[in-house]
Structure 1
Amino acid sequence: MGVFPEDTEIRVSLLIKLWVAEGFLKPISGKSLEVVAEDYFNDLIDRNLILVHTRTTSGKIKFCKIHDLLRDLCLREAEKEKFLFFLRKNSPDSLQCLNTERRIVVHSGTSYNENSHQLSYGFQSTSVARSFISDSVGYMPPFTCRLLRVLQADSAKLYLGSSREDEYFIKDVFQLVNLWHLAFQVESNLNLVYLLWNLQTLIIKSTPWQTVALSEIWLMPHLRHVFVDKFHHPDPPCVEYMPVFVLRNLQTLLMITNFKCSEDVVKRIPNIKKLQLCYKGSEEDLERYCLNNLGHLHKLESLTCEFYFSKKRIRNYLVQNITFPQSLKKLTLEGSRLHWDEMSSKVGSLPLLQVLKLKEHSCIGPKWVPDEGQFCSLKFLLIEWCEDLEYWMADNANFPRLEKLVLRFLDNLKEVPSGIGDIPTLRPIQLTHCSHYAVFSAKKIVDGQEELGNEDLKVQVLAQAKDEIVKRLESRNFQVQTASW
């Protein structure tokens, strides 16, 4: 825990990836290393050693924090045991002992940021380093650290070309053949031509106008997590003298552009759990994406699909072709333009679905009437920018386990369904920039529940600062916040 700066909101998924890459965890029969890590993490939470900061919509802990005093204790013990070397401010003598350190941390607050050459010189002898973690924009470790297993430097920018003294280059990073965990930023369009055979986690951040193509990941059998901005994922390469592996360990693949879900590709990622897809470009390419094969990903738990095509063509294609696996627990749709009844038939029967996010233009049409018995496991529902929606029928028979409802930018919605208030598990309803009709109906629902003795249901409204009508509705269980748009 000492590798994170003071008062940092620590992303739990990153923390777990680092634990796995460092080799701290022993496998347990029937459990992946990530599940073992979650068990350890929850134990630390139960002991109040780590604090919960925010949760995901499904209830998992997304960010955590650690008390400053406990973090100081971590650092003292880490230094005492020579487990971790933390480069502190204004301590030039500390650079002299780097040649024996195995885990090195450099934060942006260190005085060396102003003189990276001094820092680079001190790191020349770090041949035994196994882990390097930095949030500094201006520094990467020297590429003589051939034993490095963890390189977490997602604030550092890498470039294409030949090495210069003041820049760091992708070809140099891909000489670190023992890496298990790699995170960095790229400043150029990137096609990787180097293989890191042992790599388990790959995180590449890029700027909006750049793309990343990674055909080599099909040849990296140990990959567990891939997160790449603007990721164009090519088909498996046809290389006669090199095998194309089944990536049995791959669990996470984000954010991929125009991913072709052919039978061959789906068979090569049988254990994928989290997948984010984005489709755009020529409408003539729709057929070759083979979205009907998504239903064969039987371990998939979280899926995001974004579409950027014309209105009619994309809807017709998706109605006929897209299928979702029964294992899904979380689904996010954007630009799919399904009619509400089509969305219900495709999604409503998924038995394990707990989180559904319907974003901009995901659904079209003025009326949504789900069938009884649909969405039986749904806990979180978001409807956003579906401007056609006027009427919506819902009650305890449709959403028996709903815990949170979020409605955003629904200008034409005539009312929040009155039956929503009868769902016993529902706690907050959040409305952001919705019609006055929707706000008034939400007020009526919460008042009716108060009369029945239900004080658990809360409504939270975000309205324009000048909206005096909504402000006057505020009460104990009907909270109003204002903002300027």
Structure 2
Amino acid sequence: MIGFDDVLDRMLDKITGGGPPRQIIPIVGMGGIGKTTLARNIFVSPLVQESFAVCAWSVISQEYNAREILRQVLDQVDKRDRENDKKDLSEDELGDHLYKYLIGRKYFIVMDDMWNIEAWNRVRRFFPDSKNGSRIVVTTRLSNLVSQFNYSNGLDLKFLDEDACWNLFCKTVFGEEACPLELEDVGKKIVEGCKGLPLSIVVIGGLLSKSERTKESWGLFEKNISSIVNSDDNQSCLQVLYMSYNKLPVHLKPCFLFMGMYGEDVEIFVSSLILCFVAAGYVKPIKGKCSEEIAQEYLEELVERNLLIVEKRRHGGKLESFKMHDLLRDLCLREAQKLKFLFVLGDRSFPQAVNSQRHIVSRLKKDEYPTPLIQSLESASLVRMLVGEFPDSFSYNFRLLRIMVLEDYSEEEDSHDYCEEILHGLVNLRLLIMEVRGHSLPSSVYFHWNLQTLVIQNDHEDYVCEIWKLPQLRHFIIYNGGTLIGAYCLPDRFNDEKDMVLKDLQTLCVVSNLKFGEGVLKRIPNIKKLKLCYDREVDTSGEEDYYRLNNLCCLHKLQTLRFRGSSRQVSFPHSLKKLTLECTQLAWEDMSTKIGSLPHLQVLKLKNNSFIGSEWETTEDQFLNLKILLIEACYLECWITDNTHFPRLEHLHLRWMESLREIPSCIGDIPTLHSIKLLYCSDSAVASAQTIKEEQQELGNQDLRIIVVE
């Protein structure tokens, strides 16, 4: 928060001080001035986290959805009912649930990017005033909203002053180093051209951090910025940002423009975006690296240039999700439309020549298409990507199509034949995402030899899927709401003349009851990620290991495994970095022989009776690289361990552990430990966590965080 330290302190005083009535505190300012960054720093402040029983963040945006606002908040504050599916609740039902949870609790809520008072009026009745000091922070670009909240204690965020601008610029370009003396004059002129807007400073700084550090090179930037700022164009900020786009390396430009397909304030997940980059052909091959790794590096470079806002990173530092600033998204859409690279139907009126676009994303419902638009779309012979809902009678005759995401299609009895018709002739298809309800996957899928990624959204039905006929397949993903139920079955008997070895296959999730015989092992030699579901008991009296799960240890490149089902035969490969178990019902004594000795394991999640037994005693020389341990809804009363048994543990999460009497006090002595989080655990376990915190504070360890949700 360079330049905003005093502002942050004042805001924290307002939020944690003042009278008991609930207060709404607006933060007002133009786009790119730092409203969301300030709100985020307030939100994660230890003072706020400790002062309020409940904290939540919601994104409003121009096209607000009251039900989505309530769902966002409720998902964060009330996690008692793990099985409760909120997607079917109405707006009033969600609101009533939220009101009942918040009443009597001191809460802090951020409502980011509000554009009109109607959004607040729709949800305000569900945020009770219990006269206990609850606070709601609202960020907005519109000054007139402040008066409508009937509060005068808001903040009008101003431009950075000269010193703050220079400090922010130097931090962005040079990190902890000082600016070379020969670059100071030209650097300050560049900063002056940004007119105190933080977004412009960090974007230009990100660009210069990648460019040649010479006075001549920087002089060219200074001249361009001066001409932009001194022009009569009132969109000078956007023009400054254009400079950063224009200076992008050739291979990053299509990646940046591609992200215009996402809506305003949408959290963009790296895993799905990388699949699109690879399928679209944006990734330049580099010897020794797979395409997905290269695509991840592309995104990291865009982050380093400050063109993306990091939302989440995994504990290992790997980028998980990000957002785009509204101004940069606007730039993205303008440039993409100008180049006929991408057009979003529904964001603006469609152009006359929509058939000349190469990537088309539709936000229209299938019954909202005028006839001229349908005709224009059907003649789009250059289209490489098609995303959205389309009329039932739509003709998919796109031989160059590489990416197709069908968000909805006819669910009539003949929908299976309709799917067959859609897929016919799409010979260049690389990525297919579609919904399959009540019937098997169309057989025509298996004739798409170029298909790299197949993502199926199903409705909890098991079908046999013949993926062994797809030689280029890299990722096969069944999406069913995050559960391991309703997976697809893969055949485990093979015709060696027709069934391929899928040497590029990296991801298989979720598949049911797969037997890991020699035929399966042979066909997935390079698999990296597996999610497996075994949903029925097998009589093993006649055969010791019906599913051959002891052969899992032969998958020497497997890094991530999620396993659900009861089996004592499962054996894990030493290559594993992340392991999640559910309902395996293993004994705690099996931990040392099956899991503790895995040399590269960093994340271990034990869920829903994956381990059972009253006592778990750990031993030395186990879990040598484990950083994250989560135990959820497993029966355990006594945990006996030593701080040397988890030498690199950083985060311990315990959920629904009602039987656990206490957390061993020696856990607090682990030098790498950052946090202990308890969610609906026994009172004695919570008390032991607080004791650990007090002991560590007495020893001078002020950094250990204890988070308790009751």
Superposed pair shares fold, TM > 0.5:
yes
Instruction: Tell me how far apart the structure 1 counterparts of residues 436 and 465 of structure 2 sit (CA, whole Å).
Output: 13
Q: 1:247, CA displacement in angstroms?
A: 0.4
User: What CA deviation, in whole Å up to 9, does each residue of 1:199-258 have, x standing for no partner?
Assistant: 0000010113x233212x101110001102433333255447x43211010000000110
Match of 2:357 among 88, 91, 101: 101
Alignment match, 1:180: 430
**Cross-structure match for 1:471:** none
For this pair of structures, how many residues does the alignment match?
Answer: 440
Contact 1:233 1:258 in 2 (8 A): yes
- Cα deviation for residue 88 of structure 1 reads 3.7
Give the 3 Å change call, closer, same or farther, for CA 187–170 of structure 1 in structure 2: farther
Tell me by how many angstroms 1:162 deviates.
4.1
**Counterpart check, 1:360 vs 2:608:** yes
Contact 2:493 2:519 in 1 (8 A): no
Q: Which residue of 2 aligns with 1:326?
A: 574
Residue from 396, 399, 404 that aligns with 1:151: 404
Q: Which has more strand, going by share of residues?
A: 1
Which position in structure 2 is the counterpart of 1:252? 507
Q: Give runs of aligned pairs for residues 187-206 of structure 1, distance below 5 A.
A: 187-194=437-444, 195-206=447-458
The AA in structure 2 aligned to 1:280 is D
Where does structure 1 lack aligned partners over 5 or more consecutive residues? 464-485
User: Residue type of the partner of 1:373?
Assistant: D
* 1:213 is aligned to 2:469: no
Query: For 1:410, which of 641, 652, 657 is the aligned residue?
Result: 657
Query: Within 2, Cα distance between the matches of 1:85 and 1:198?
Result: 25
Deviation at 1:189, TM superposition (A): 2.4
SS at match of 1:30: coil
Residue 450 of structure 1 aligns to a residue in which SS? helix
The one-letter code of the counterpart of 2:503 is R
Structure 1 length normalisation: TM-score?
A: 0.86
Using the TM superposition, give the Cα deviation of residue 157 of structure 1 relative to its aligned residue in structure 2, in angstroms: 3.7
**Relative to structure 1, is the Cα distance of residues 414 and 138 closer, same or farther in structure 2, using a 3 angstrom cutoff?**
farther
Call closer, same or farther: CA 1:416–1:163 in 2, change over 3 Å. Answer: closer
Q: Which residue of 2 aligns with 1:232?
A: 488
Amino acid at match of 1:190: S
Long gaps (5+) in structure 2: 1-258, 480-485
Alignment of 1:297-376 (within 5 A): 297-307=555-565, 309=566, 314=567, 318=568, 321-376=569-624
8 Å CA contact retained: 2:362, 2:387: yes
Q: Distance in 2 between matches of 1:172 and 1:106?
A: 17
Q: Verify the 8 A CA contact 1:151 1:181 in the aligned structure 2.
A: yes
Question: What is the CA–CA distance in structure 2 between the aligned matches of 1:214 and 1:427, rounded to whole Å?
Answer: 44
The code of the aligned residue for 1:177 comes to V
Matched, 1:269 2:524: yes
Distance 1:345 1:289, change over 3 A: same
Is 1:27 paired with 2:277? no
Question: Which residue in 1 is equivalent to 2:41?
Answer: none
Distance 2:272 2:393 in 1: 19
- The AA in structure 2 aligned to 1:418 is S
Partner Cα separation in structure 2 for residue 89 and residue 114 of structure 1: 17
Query: Residue 137 of structure 1: CA displacement?
Result: 7.9
- 1:122 paired to 2:376: yes
Query: In structure 2, how many angstroms separate the alpha carbons of the residues matched to 1:202 and 1:239?
Result: 22
For the 8 Å contact 1:58–1:380, the answer to whether it is kept is no
Relative to structure 1, is the Cα distance of residues 88 and 394 closer, same or farther in structure 2, using a 3 angstrom cutoff? same
Deviation for aligned residue 1:410 = 0.8
How far apart, CA to CA, are the structure 1 residues paired with 2:340 and 2:622? 56
Q: CA RMSD in A?
A: 2.2
Deviation at 1:90, TM superposition (A): 5.8
Q: CA deviation at 1:38?
A: 1.0
What letter is aligned with 1:302?
A: T
Deviations 1:372-395 (A, max 9, x none): 1100100100001112x1111233
| 1:400 matched to 2:647 | yes
Counterpart in the other structure of 1:481? none
CA distance in 2, matches of 1:298, 1:144: 42
Question: How far apart, in 1, do the equivalents of 2:529 and 2:605 lie?
Answer: 15
**Residues 204 and 227, structure 1, Cα contact 8 Å, conserved in 2:** yes
Letter in 1 for 2:620: E
* In the alignment, structure 1 residue 243 sits paired with structure 2 residue 498: yes
Query: 2: distance between equivalents of 1:325 and 1:192?
Result: 34
Shift of 1:426: 0.9
Distance 1:384 1:2 in 2: 39
Contact 1:236 1:244 in 2 (8 A): no
- Structure-2 separation of matches of 1:225 and 1:187: 21
> TM-score, normalization: structure 2?
0.59
Taking a change above 3 Å as real, the CA distance of residues 386 and 91 of structure 1, as seen in their structure-2 partners, is: same
Taking the aligned partners of 1:352 and 1:439, their CA distance within structure 2 comes to 31
Q: Secondary structure at the match of 1:353?
A: coil
What is the Cα deviation at residue 458 of structure 1? 0.5
In the alignment, does 2:637 pair up with 1:390? yes
Is the Cα–Cα contact under 8 Å of residues 487 and 533 in structure 2 kept in the other structure?
no
- 2:390·2:408 contact (CA, 8 Å) conserved in 1? yes
Larger Rg: 2
Once the 2 structures are TM-superposed, how far is the Cα of residue 87 of structure 1 from its aligned partner? Answer: 1.9
Secondary structure of 2:591's match?
Answer: helix
Equivalent residue letter for 2:440: L
Secondary structure at the counterpart of residue 62 of structure 1: strand
Larger CA deviation: 174-183 vs 343-352: 174-183
Counterpart in 2 of 1:475? none
For residue 67 of structure 1, what is the aligned residue in structure 2? 325
Residues 348 and 266 of structure 1, relative CA distance in 2, 3 Å threshold: same
- Matched-pair identity in %: 45
